[in-house]
Copies of this chain bind each other. A is one copy, B any other.
């Protein structure tokens, strides 16, 4: 039986919490917007069609995970992507989902 490197309970917990940060559609949407360039909270709020406190809260979660970083400019705060690997993760998930639905569709083909 093949042997794979085991992750420690601590590492598993860290990985899980990283996944948890990405488990909210609104946060994924925010990341998607930020991918086009750093954006103020105000602009983000408009673009993701939510309320300002809600966006700030999600940004806080993303920042605590070091996925985004902030920069103050006057009275505005601009957020930007701080860890590009999130898009790699999304790509892998999307490919997997595509594959899955393709298989399911094939059942009825």
Contact = CB atoms under 8 A, between A and B. Distances in A.
How many copies the complex holds: the figure is 2
B32 A24 contact: no
B88 A92 contact: yes
A83 interface: yes
A7 interface: yes
A6 B19 contact: no
Contacts of A14: 97
A46 interface: no
A36 interface: yes
Contact of A12 (B7, B32, B37): B32
A49 to B, nearest CB: 10
A22 B19 contact: yes
